[in-house]
Structure 1
């Protein structure tokens, strides 16, 4: 029996990245070739998802620095243009991950949207092969197939969509490669300061550079011939949960099949904030919003504060505890969310149309793809106000095309085997390197 050591590293504080990493690990182990035993080691700087890893009998290596494991904003100080809030923290993370790889001596490193791993594997005593698994095709060619221009590039955000896309596509690629949201200056400067002496680091594409890039999303969103051969679209990495835990009685009351009111499921996930939740709550306190039944999941906002804003409004249930998301989505007419890949794929698996607002670039692209394919509406962040939320919900409720398209995407999600496709691509690459 040949022993193979695989390290998996990602932003393990983030629910979307952690979920993808765990699903990748399960698939790699399940589909390992005969005669090979894969030892899978997760790198953690602190995360509430460690318990999920242990439950699957994978190893955990606690790298320095140790962080609280609360979330991207709390642990990393994430900003609009920097995943890691300071250069000093980026240096600490790089030192810690390089030390971990030198200690573990893996045959390969699998990493998500985590530039620290993409750099550290190339800064060890012996460069380690790397495979990046990501929700988007994170290579420069991505510019050629963008569904819209990220609203973080504010100079474009006020222009009509057709005009901003036209202008953006005329900009030389070397200029686009240097837009602030791609630069990740704290990480790049940290790498140079501790001795990076390889190819120039221009932006996040260079930081995440890998032998193979696996895109865990529907290939329907992209023109596949635009990408190099080391980019593989393996399909949604989505495990249909077999969760039998009881749904809270309050949810069942609000989403009962006997209720004729439209049902809205709001899930603001780990990237939710008080600032973004207030307009959402207000949308259900007047006008057409009073006729909707609503379930709100928000782990980062006081339930008591939320209830005060709702002012005793009947038909709304808010919670900060676990919800069996797929089953609750199935009961809803619309899912309202921030656009994380896992959240969107869960909604599509339930054939539920989507209304969303993005908190960061990946969510923006995800929601723009959803909107471009007629499955939902993306509300620009600068328009995230109660009246715009109401208008988007009304438009989706009144236009049956959204539900019809969601049903088509449900079939695509349920027929795809993204886990096996990803595992097959990983093993093919790994076996070519050892």
Structure 2
């Protein structure tokens, strides 16, 4: 008799699974046998649009080849209704849902909204919504309110980060200050709080994108860890020059330059971020992160971009899911909706991590320019009360980035992965001013695709920025390439794909 074969999982993940009650296990076996009697389900044909494929092929399209990490733009699970759904819906059998815990850096807008995007995907997924119960863990920050606004349960771990500490984190991250973002003792305290939270909640998995203490806590408690990253964080990308050396044509010279870029970035990451993490790991007698890039590898790692974004092949157990964007219901003020269109329109966004001095410098450079600017940077220039905003610049609070980006002719951004994915999906040419290596690398990926110009924040920025904006506004080829890439981006449903992989890996019955 044929059997019902669920996708296999790695032993480390299987070991972390919660055992089902005996009566539910028996029900699943009976249901599986009944389904198997209908025929070999691995060869049952499914449809998605005009495509037809078997269930085995369907699973492969989602999870891809685990050796190459190849996956697909979107995946819509096909299911039988009725009894099969009842078997998968644990609540119908008196089975408690599995807790899945998101642990964003809630002082960072892009990080918080990425996690919320996946959480929404889980809440809307045909199967995952009945299997998982979503929780959030916070270390403090102004964007906790976005989580609470959407009704998810928020648990705070340890003493919250102060505004002063958050400013210090950004200064180190943006290369404005030399130092470490946390001390050893601060991280030991944070890890202790995280361990207590994990022991209390007992989640089936923890998902993070930049929280430094949670990975150590997951090691201590044996909780599966899911990283949300982009390929510009990979060691292979930095080893190939991180986009910095793209202009060097002489191969031997490029290899030398690549080496020094790699050494510089590795030291920056180790000294500012991973050194205190390893000190905390050593304190708790768990594995340290060596080399430093191993820190960003979880039990599984979801890559929040379309395939081919950087050209770097995925390591084992990494999966493309597509872009994860800020989809919050920020209002569009009337002055933005009704901005005069008598001149070209520039969208100027620096996320939540743009450096105040650089943002102010850019705003001042817009004075007298032959275009209008929408600039949702109000939160970033609070420390610049004497800044004179030119009359052609409209400074606002946070806006729905994708909607407003589509209104503009070009985007000027700092290169965080959220702003990069938003600009690319909007299909408009880009001028990028990265604050730190990862942001510069993200912009380099768009530059390689032919619709971005990358600038240094420290080299005669006002003059070079205005030259780049004028060039991009009149660059029809950049506009064409941006529109083409936007159509490629639109094929991906990041929240759904992420939810699907989480369900396949952690939600399926044993």
Structure 1 length-normalised TM: 0.83
Contact between 1:137 and 1:213, CA under 8 Å: does it hold in 2? no
Aligned to 1:140: 235
Residue 408 of structure 2 corresponds to residue 322 of structure 1: no
Deviation at 1:110, TM superposition (A): 1.3
Aligned to 2:200: 103
Residue 367 of structure 2 corresponds to residue 272 of structure 1: no
| 396 and 31 in structure 1: CA distance in 2 versus 1, 3 angstrom threshold | same
Aligned to 2:224: 129
Residue 173 of structure 2 corresponds to residue 91 of structure 1: no
Aligned to 2:334: 248
Aligned to 1:355: 431
Deviation at 1:25, TM superposition (A): 1.2
- Structure 1 CA distance, aligned partners of 2:366 and 2:203? 52
Contact between 1:145 and 1:223, CA under 8 Å: does it hold in 2? no
Aligned to 2:370: 291
Structure 1 runs not aligned, ≥5 long: 150-155
Deviation at 1:290, TM superposition (A): 2.7
Deviation at 1:169, TM superposition (A): 4.7
- Choose 1 or 2 for highest CA Rg: 2
Residue 267 of structure 2 corresponds to residue 179 of structure 1: yes
- Structure 2 CA distance, aligned partners of 1:112 and 1:101? 17
- Structure 1 CA distance, aligned partners of 2:276 and 2:413? 29
Aligned to 2:321: 234
Report Cα offsets for 1:44-72 as digits up to 9, x if no partner: 12232223222333211110022246884
Residue 272 of structure 2 corresponds to residue 188 of structure 1: no
Contact between 2:429 and 2:478, CA under 8 Å: does it hold in 1? yes
Structure 2 length-normalised TM: 0.72
Contact between 1:28 and 1:423, CA under 8 Å: does it hold in 2? yes
Deviation at 1:336, TM superposition (A): 0.8
Runs of 4+ in 1 over 6 A off after TM superposition: none
Report Cα offsets for 1:171-221 as digits up to 9, x if no partner: 799x689533345344334324522333x4224422233111100012122
Contact between 1:140 and 1:205, CA under 8 Å: does it hold in 2? yes
Deviation at 1:297, TM superposition (A): 2.2
Aligned to 2:293: 205
- Structure 1 CA distance, aligned partners of 2:508 and 2:293? 24
SS for the counterpart of 1:131 is strand
- Structure 2 CA distance, aligned partners of 1:433 and 1:229? 24
SS for the counterpart of 1:329 is helix
Please point out which of 457, 460, 464 is paired with 1:381: 457
Report Cα offsets for 1:149-185 as digits up to 9, x if no partner: 4xxxxxx8xx954467432456799x68953334534
- Structure 2 CA distance, aligned partners of 1:177 and 1:274? 23
Structure 2 runs not aligned, ≥5 long: 1-89
- Structure 2 CA distance, aligned partners of 1:191 and 1:69? 23
Deviation at 1:349, TM superposition (A): 2.5
Report Cα offsets for 1:376-417 as digits up to 9, x if no partner: 111012225210111111221222111111111221222211
| 89 and 136 in structure 1: CA distance in 2 versus 1, 3 angstrom threshold | farther
| 57 and 135 in structure 1: CA distance in 2 versus 1, 3 angstrom threshold | same
Aligned to 2:306: 218
Contact between 2:105 and 2:210, CA under 8 Å: does it hold in 1? yes
- Structure 2 CA distance, aligned partners of 1:336 and 1:402? 14
Contact between 1:47 and 1:70, CA under 8 Å: does it hold in 2? no
Report Cα offsets for 1:207-236 as digits up to 9, x if no partner: 233111100012122346x33230111111
Aligned to 1:17: 111
Aligned to 1:153: none
- Structure 1 CA distance, aligned partners of 2:228 and 2:509? 18
Which deviates more from structure 2 when the two are superposed, residues 184-193 or residues 38-47? 184-193
Report Cα offsets for 1:220-260 as digits up to 9, x if no partner: 22346x3323011111123667x5844332x345x423x0x
Report Cα offsets for 1:74-97 as digits up to 9, x if no partner: 567744376724333222222211
Contact between 1:140 and 1:177, CA under 8 Å: does it hold in 2? no
Deviation at 1:23, TM superposition (A): 0.8
SS for the counterpart of 1:419 is helix
SS for the counterpart of 1:295 is strand
1:46-65 superposed matches below 5 A: 46-65=140-159
Report Cα offsets for 1:270-303 as digits up to 9, x if no partner: 1123310232123223xxx532222222112149
| 16 and 433 in structure 1: CA distance in 2 versus 1, 3 angstrom threshold | farther
| 63 and 216 in structure 1: CA distance in 2 versus 1, 3 angstrom threshold | same
Q: Between Structure 1 and Structure 2, how many residues are aligned?
A: 409
Report Cα offsets for 1:79-134 as digits up to 9, x if no partner: 4376724333222222211221122111111111223222210012xx11111111
SS for the counterpart of 2:479 is helix
